[in-house]
Amino acid sequence: MTISSTWKFEAQEILVSCGIDSERISRFEFPRNQLQAPSPLIFSSAEIHYCASLPDPAKGLCAAFCCKEALFKALGTPYNLCDCEMEPCFAQEEQNVRITEIIRTENKIHSVTALLKEFVPDELTVVVYTWRLP
């Protein structure tokens, strides 16, 4: 007796590239009573507002920056950092990443996902994956 079956798998999305970045959290501490503030060249107002509400805003900004740097490495081409947004959730590894249509179109990708880890104290690591539709 011969039993055979054919498994058919249809990918939802196809992995295009990945990038990684690590940064020290302490580099993102902005004293609240001084004129320094997170740069609008790097962070969107949504990210700044969200991170300011976190128990550790520096940690939030660090994670968001790592995501942007990791995406730059994955894409291999410069982009305006505010075209990528991440509002980090430290309760889980997988993070939601928003990218603009400009990034999608110019890089022929559909979406971006990120994994966030704190392997050592005061340092965050983000791995970013870019995906395209089949």
Partner 1 sequence: MPEIDLSIENEIKQLVYNFFAEECSVDPEQINDATNIITELEGDSLMLLSLLEIVRKKYGLSIELKTLGKHLMRKPAESIQQVVTLTLAIVKHGDNIINVEI
Rule CB under 8 A: which of 86-125 touch partner 1?
none
Could you tell me the smallest distance in angstroms from the CB atom of residue 84 to partner 1?
11
Binds partner 1 by CB under 8 A, chosen from 16, 18, 42, 115 = 42
d(CA 108, CA 112): 12
Q: Decide whether 26 or 133 has the Cβ nearer to partner 1.
A: 26
**Residues 84-87: contacts with CB under 8 Å, at least 24 apart:** 84/112, 85/44, 85/46, 85/47, 86/47, 86/114, 87/46, 87/47, 87/50, 87/51, 87/60
| Window of 10-18, 38-46, 93-101, 117-125 that interacts with partner 1 by CB under 8 A | 38-46
Rule CB under 8 A: which of 51-90 touch partner 1?
65, 69, 72, 77-81
- C-alpha torsion sign, points 84, 90, 57, 27: negative
| Residues that bind partner 1 in the complex, under the rule CB under 8 A | 23, 27, 39, 41-42, 65, 69, 72, 77-81
